[in-house]
Structure formats: C-alpha cells, structure tokens
Amino acid sequence: MLLPALLFLQCVLVTLGQYDICKSLMSTDDKYTWEFYACQPRATSMKDYMQIRVEPPDITCGDPPERFCTLENPYLCSDECDASTTDLAHPPQLMQDRETNGLITYWQTVTWSRFPEPLLANITLSWNKSLEVTDDIEITFEYGRPTIMVLEKSLDKGRSWQPYQYYADDCSEAFGMPAKRVEHLSAANVTRVICTEQYSRWVGSKNEKIVRFEVRDRFAIFAGPRLLNMDNLYTRMESMKGLRDFFTFTDLRLRLLKPALGGTYVQRDNLLKYFYAISNIEVTARCKCNLHAGQCTFRDGSLQCNCEHNTTGQDCARCARGFKAKSWKPGSYLPTPNGSPNACEAAGSLGNCECYGHSNRCSYIDFINIVTCVSCKHNTRGQNCQHCRLGYFRNASAELDDENVCIECNCNQLGSLHARCNETGFCQCREGTTGQKCEDCLPGYNWKQGCVSNVCDDELLLCQNGGTCVQNQKCVCPPEFRGVLCEQLRCKGEKVCNGCPACYLSLLTVLLCLVTSSLLKASA
C-alpha cells in the first residue's frame, strides 16, 4: 500500500522539480532504493510565529487615555485611545492578528505632544529562526505612512543589525542618500541597500496605506517579470556571493523616525493628529533549512526544520551523530531542476574510516593493513583524526567532530619546557615559573626573559647594613660593606684585618690588606 503512494510522489516531483520533497523510493529490477533530492519547506505567512517588541515601552497610546485627531480633518478629534478598555485599546498584537470579523485593528502610538522632541518608535519582530523571505514584506499604516523610517534586519537573532531599506519623503535630506527604486537595480547591484521615496510621500491616508520591501521585483531581475524562471534565480543564489544572505534574516526592525504630516509642515497648534498606527505586518518566508528539509514545524517555542539527509539542528546545519564521514555541506539548487542533496554520510561508509569531519580523504596503508584519515584539519591528528596535534589540547565542551575540538596550548615560550600541555591546558614550566601557561614567576623569582631567581628582595633576601636592592638582582652596598647582601664588613683594621681570617694565611694577603687599608685611609 505504501509503495504506490511513494512512487506517485516521485512522479509529482519529476513534474514539479521545485525542491519540495527530500526523498522518494525508486524501483529498479524488483528492488526498491531511496533517492534523495535537495528540498526546502513551503513558504508561508510568518505573522503567526513572530514575537513583537515595541520601544520605548511607553510608546503605545492609552495609558493615560488620550484623544487624537485625524490628518484629513484636524477638527474631528472625537477618537480616543484607552488601554483599559478593550474596544479603545491599541496594543502591539493588533499588528499581527487575523481580523477575521472584517474589522481593521491596529497598534497605535501616543501623539506628538512633545514636539519638537522627535516622535521615535522601534518595532522589533523576532522569529528565533533563520528565514528566507519569498514575497514582499508589507506594513500597513492607518492614518498615513511615516515621513521617515528605516527597515533593518538581523541575521544572528538580534545581536547585530544592518539596514535593509531606507524610506523618506526626501531621501537626501533625511539620510543624505539619492532616491532610488528597485527598478533602478540590476543583477550586479541587487543587494544594494537603497533609500526610496515611493512610500513616504503624502497621498492621503486612505489612498495608500502600505509600505513595502520589494522582494518580488528583486527576484524578477533574475527570474523574469512573472517569476517564471525561478531556476535562473536559484542558480544565481548558488554562485553570487551574498545574494542568498540578502534575503535571509532572523529578526526585522522598523525604526519609525517621523510620522505622517499630511503633506505640510508640522502644525504646532494641533499636535494630536501626529502619531503612528499599524494594522498589519505581512512577512512571507520559508524556514532556512539549507536544502535539507521539506518541512518546518513549530516546536518548543520556535520554528525548527524537520531535517532529512541525516542532518540535524534548527537549520539542519550539522551532520547528525554517526553521520560525520564527510564535512557537512548545504544542499544545492544545482544541477537544475532537482539539485543535489549533499547528504551526510554514515561513519563507516568511507572504507570503515571515521574522520569526525576533520578530513574528507582516507588512505589504505598496505604493509600495516590499516585505513587512515589523510590531512586531518582543525589541528587534529591520528588515524581517525581523533587526537589533537602537539601543542593543542582537547576542548572538554566540544564533541569530537566539532571544529573547535582542539585548543592551542599557547605555552609561554620562555617559561615552559616545551609546547605541549596536559588535558586541561596546563603547560610544563621551567624552574621558578608557574601559571597555566607558565607566564608567572614563583615567589623569590622575577621575570627577565623567563623567571630568574632573585638575588635580593623586600621579604626574605633583604640587603643588609643599609644596602639597597636594585631590580631584585643586586644589592648596592654602602662603601664599608660588601658581599651579595652587603653582609660583610670590608677590611678596615689599623694593623691587621679583624674580619679577615685569611690574612694570617699568607704574607701576600697581609700585604694586600695593608695596601688596601692605607688606600682607604688616603681616600678618606
């Protein structure tokens, strides 16, 4: 029963060629085998999955309740925003609701009563998942579109941001940029960030409500005006650096910088007609699964690819455990129409030689009859690239197939005996040296191209008799003392040197002593 159904799927795939299934069962001479294809999830409205945050926190109207007017009829100020009354409240979630009963619902800000202080608001939309936009992003403004705004995006869940498109009624005044339209872009500069005046000029609040980020027009540069030649777009995505990333994001942010003014300058006597109101944000996209998943589902609070091809992770960006014979690769749209799956392969499939993803090649060594990985990368070594190279140690928090599995020992060259370290990264230190990398000196030692033992210091090896310790290497003694720590009196006696037992030993020494003491007297 199952097989006919799967064979039917195969037929569908061949006709569509649109990367929507990941595998199908093929029959060849009474045998059934799986065939694998590059695949991606269907594009859907991502509105239901987005988390909305508005800033500053008190920008939403209604607390305290506030009256507002309209731009078309500034004397009609009967409308009220009141956060404590359901019918009069305008909370952020009204930007993503489905408006099933036909009533337009919208988020609304406070009015510009603090003019000339600017009226600024940020709306951050987060999915906690890499998405690839497939259709125009549309933001619907009630009561007029902003005079100035910026659309930004993040690729790393909000850690860093970049502009996506600038919008202003006068681009050069607002941003110092020339006004452009997507029609001005060509294949060579399709990923250029532009400023457009198309959606900011005043045309009446009822006539045009939508501010657009044009995805279809950009696709059309490659796929033709009706997007019939998507293969050409996909081929470009593979070869043109940055093209795919341009349509990818995890978060979007709207920075609203100046509200609609009604086609004239700000009228200070009626500031209650200036505010922002958004009734809908439409983002059509598909989960980025690196062409390794045909489906994406909402699990554990965020979207996740249902990975195939023995890959794993939220974006199928890793090989699953036990399938790391080769390094992970994304699937490819090429060759068209069905692409290549670039599936992860089971460990053992390369002549029973697992290299933990650090090598793509194995070699058979005849005379000892073993298969071994060749040119292990990521500072690994060994038959299966399972050890760290000399001078590196195993990263305890990384799996064996992690690129970060080996950490450099980084032993201090002057302080350590050699470049190796133990499993926790401790180097072997020379005498007098300490610290994980042998970069510090033990007490009684001082760093001087390595640790050298102190001749004198302020604790144990004090210079005596008023001597001073210079850089821990030398006591500078008062003239009448000598010795390493100035502990000896110099010969100074009248006839014989008291402190010099050696004087009695030879006549020569006595003579020397006499000469010395007379010299000292002479100089005194």
Ligand X SMILES: *[C@@H]1O[C@H](CO)[C@@H](O)[C@H](O)[C@H]1NC(C)=O
Residue 94 binding target from ligand X, Ca ion, none, CB below 5 to 8 Å by type: Ca ion
Chain residues 225-284 in contact with Ca ion, contact rule CB under 5 A? 279
Number of residues that bind Ca ion (CB under 5 A): 4
Residue of 212, 209, 208 whose CA lies nearest to 194: 212
Binding residues among 124-143 for ligand X as defined by CB under 6 A:
128
Task: Please state, in angstroms and rounded to a whole number, the distance separating the CA atoms of residues 411 and 309.
Answer: 42
Distance CA 371, CA 475 (A): 65
309 lies in the binding site for ligand X (CB under 6 A): yes
For ligand X, the closer of residues 185 and 514 by Cβ is 185
- Give the one residue of 302, 468, 471, 473 binding ligand X; rule: CB under 6 A: 302
Q: How far is the CB of 120 from Ca ion (least distance, A)?
A: 22
Contact partner, 395, from ligand X, Ca ion, none, Cβ < 5-8 Å per class: ligand X
Options 114-122, 236-244, 289-297, 437-445: segment touching ligand X (CB under 6 A): 114-122
Question: How far is it, in rounded angstroms, from Cα 232 to Cα 432?
Answer: 68
Q: CA of 189: how far to CAs of 184, 185, 194, 218, 248, in Å?
A: 9, 6, 10, 10, 17
The number of beta carbons lying within 10 Å of the beta carbon of residue 12 is 12
Does the protein bind Ca ion through residue 94 (CB under 5 A)? yes
d(CA 314, CA 296): 9
In whole angstroms, what is the distance from residue 482 CA to residue 260 CA? 90
Residue 463 tokens, joined: 């210079």
Binds ligand X (CB under 6 A): choice among 56, 102, 116, 479: 56
SS3 460: coil
Rounded Cα distance, 431 and 455, in Å: 16
DSSP 155: S
Distance CA 250, CA 245 (A): 11
Q: Which one of ligand X, Ca ion, none is in contact with 172 (Cβ closer than 5 to 8 A by kind)? A: none
Q: Does residue 395 bind ligand X (CB under 6 A)?
A: yes
Instruction: Please select the residue that binds Ca ion; options are 105, 290, 304, 454, rule is CB under 5 A.
Output: 105
| Residue reference for tokens 């300490």 | 434
Closer to ligand X by CB, 303 or 477: give it: 303
8 Å CB contact between 430 and 450? yes
Binding partner of residue 378 among Ca ion, ligand X, none, CB cut-off 5 to 8 Å per kind: none
- Write the secondary structure of 45-90 as one string of H (helix), E (strand) and C (coil): ECHHHCEEEEECCCCECCCCCEEECCCCCCCCCCEEECCCCHHHCC
Q: Would you list the DSSP string of 477-492? A: --TTEESTTS-EEPP-
Residue with smaller CB distance to ligand X, 420 or 490: 420
- According to the binding rule CB under 6 A, does residue 185 interact with ligand X? yes
Which H or E run contains 365?
Answer: strand 361-365
Q: Which stretch binds Ca ion (CB under 5 A): 44-52, 103-111, 324-332, 420-428?
A: 103-111
Structure tokens at 201: 């000029």
Which of ligand X, Ca ion, none lies near 56, with the C-beta cut-off 5 to 8 A by kind? ligand X
User: Nearest approach, Cβ of 177 to Ca ion (angstroms)?
Assistant: 31
Q: Residues binding ligand X: what is the number (CB under 6 A)?
A: 34
Q: How many whole angstroms separate alpha carbon 491 and alpha carbon 484? A: 16
Binding-site string for Ca ion from residue 10 to residue 49, where x marks contact by CB under 5 A and - marks none = ----------------------------------------
For the bound state, the minimum distance from the C-beta of residue 97 to Ca ion, rounded and expressed in Å, comes to: 5
Residue 40 partner contact from Ca ion, ligand X, none using kind-dependent CB cut-offs of 5 to 8 Å: none
Q: Rounded to the nearest 5°, which phi and psi values hold at 173? A: -70, -45
CB of 276 to Ca ion, least distance (A): 14
Cβ-based burial of 346 (10 A; exposed 0-12, middle 13-18, buried ≥19) = middle
Considering only residues 275 through 294, tell me which ones interact with Ca ion, judged by CB under 5 A.
279
As measured in angstroms, the least distance from the Cβ of 100 to Ca ion is 10
The pattern of x and - marking residues 401 through 440 that bind Ca ion according to CB under 5 A reads ----------------------------------------
Residue 387 or 482 having the CB closest to ligand X: 387
Among 27, 297, 422, 518, binds ligand X (CB under 6 A): 422
Report how far Cα 110 is from the mean position of its chain's Cα atoms. 35
CA of residue 49 relative to chain centroid, distance: 22
Interatomic CA distance for residues 46 and 281, integer angstroms? 10
> Following DSSP, what letter does each residue of 481-523 receive, concatenated?
EESTTS-EEPP--SSS-TT-GGGGT-HHHHHHHHHHHHHHHHH
- Of residues 145-184, those binding ligand X (CB under 6 A): 180, 184
Tell me phi and psi for residue 476, to 5 degrees.
-95, 115
- Residue 192 lies near ligand X (rule: CB under 6 A): yes
The interface with ligand X within residues 214-233 (CB under 6 A) comprises: none
Judged by beta carbon distances under 5 to 8 A according to partner kind, the member of ligand X, Ca ion, none in contact with residue 105 is Ca ion
Nearer to ligand X, 263 or 348 (CB): 348
H or E element at residue 163: strand 162-168
Q: Could you tell me which stretch among 37-45, 121-129, 163-171, 438-446 binds ligand X (CB under 6 A)?
A: 121-129
3-class state of residue 390 by DSSP: coil
Query: At closest approach, how far in Å is the CB of 47 from ligand X?
Result: 17
Q: Read off φ and ψ for residue 408, nearest 5 degrees.
A: -65, 135
What character string, x for contact with ligand X (CB under 6 A) and - otherwise, covers 425-464? Answer: -x--------------------------------------
* Binding residues vs ligand X (CB under 6 A): 34, 36, 55-56, 120-122, 128, 180, 184-186, 188-189, 192, 194, 255, 301-302, 304, 309-310, 314, 343, 395, 397-398, 402, 404, 407, 422-424, 426
